[in-house]
């Protein structure tokens, strides 16, 4: 019986050369206050708890080169969770948005949200650069070209699908014209925008005002990031680029 080969994120490169040491890429950046705040509410965590998870392994990709890190940072590449995982997250977000505080469910207490689920590598539609994979057992390197129909599925070394879904959804929402209408990830992203967190109390009104101001600044940063991603990535998107 043939055993299925399990590829992980460190098997990916944009050149035939693989670095001897891995580079860590955070799925959710600690500076993304708006995302951290709404994700905290949607996933059933306590106030201020999500930020403590930003440096934990569940928020990290382990990548083989700086160009791959850059491709993920610019939303040219993203790992897409399987459909049943996205559906579970949608259900969790919906539940936590509607229920009393005492009935909220934590993402890390949902056994079906498995860290060993298999992801597809999702590319920005304009991305056409060759992708190189290193076989996890033999070390043999294979080349995969646009439209990448021969790419395998991937498991991630330490990341949790709840956090993996954030950049995957961002890729879809930053370039919405490139994806199917009502893509499940765009629905997931929309659900986050409807989360009112932290709850309205007299103790945290000033904190909410600070978060609102940071949200406005972050929206401006995201807008600038979108502009850069559209015009400053020729080297990564052009298959002829060195």
pLDDT tens readout for residues 24-46: 999 999 999 889 999 999 999 99
Residue-range domain boundaries for the chain: 7-237
The model's pTM is: 0.83
Dihedral angle computed from the Cα positions of residues 30, 33, 34 and 40, in that order, rounded to the nearest 10 degrees: 70
Contacts for 69 with CB less than 8 Å, ≥ 6 apart: 23, 25, 63
With beta carbons less than 8 A apart as the criterion, state whether 77 and 122 touch. Answer: yes
With beta carbons less than 8 A apart as the criterion, state whether 24 and 73 touch. Answer: no
pLDDT at 240 over 80: no
Return the pLDDT at 4: 83
Q: Which helix (H) or strand (E) holds 187?
A: helix 184-193
Contacts for 184 with CB less than 8 Å, ≥ 6 apart: 83, 86, 87, 90
Mind giving me the DSSP string for 64-121? Answer: S-HHHHHHHHTTSEEEEPPHHHHHHHHHHHHHHHHS-GGG---GGG-TTS-TT--BEE
Nearest residue to 215 via CA among 197, 237, 234, 236: 197
44: burial class by Cβ within 10 Å (0-12, 13-18, 19+)? buried
Return the pLDDT at 53: 96
Mean pLDDT score of the chain: 87
Reply yes or no: is the peptide bond before residue 198 cis, omega within 30 of 0.
yes
Both tokens assigned to 120: 């597809």
Return the pLDDT at 174: 78
């Amino acid at each position: 019986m043939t055993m299925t080969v399990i590829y992980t994120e460190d098997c990916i490169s944009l050149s035939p050369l693989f670095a001897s040491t891995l580079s860590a890429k955070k799925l959710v950046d600690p500076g993304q206050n708006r995302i951290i705040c709404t994700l905290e509410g949607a996933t059933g965590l306590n106030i201020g708890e999500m930020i403590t998870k930003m440096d934990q392994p569940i928020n990290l990709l382990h990548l083989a080169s700086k160009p791959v890190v850059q491709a993920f940072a610019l939303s040219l590449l993203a790992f897409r969770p399987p459909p049943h995982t996205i559906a579970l997250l949608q259900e969790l977000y919906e539940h936590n948005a509607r229920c009393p505080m005492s009935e909220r469910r934590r993402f890390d207490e949902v056994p079906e949200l498995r860290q060993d689920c298999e992801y597809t590598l999702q590319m920005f539609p304009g991305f056409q650069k060759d992708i190189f994979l290193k076989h996890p057992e033999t070390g043999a390197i294979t080349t995969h070209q646009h439209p990448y129909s021969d790419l395998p599925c991937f498991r991630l070394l330490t990341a949790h699908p709840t956090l993996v879904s954030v950049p995957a959804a961002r890729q879809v929402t930053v370039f919405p014209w490139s994806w199917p209408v009502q893509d499940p990830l765009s629905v997931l992203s929309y659900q986050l925008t409807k989360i009112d967190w932290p709850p309205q109390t007299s103790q945290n009104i000033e904190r909410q005002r600070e978060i609102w101001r940071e949200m406005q600044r972050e929206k401006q940063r995201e807008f600038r990031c979108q502009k850069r991603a559209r015009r400053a990535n020729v080297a990564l998107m052009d298959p002829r680029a060195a």
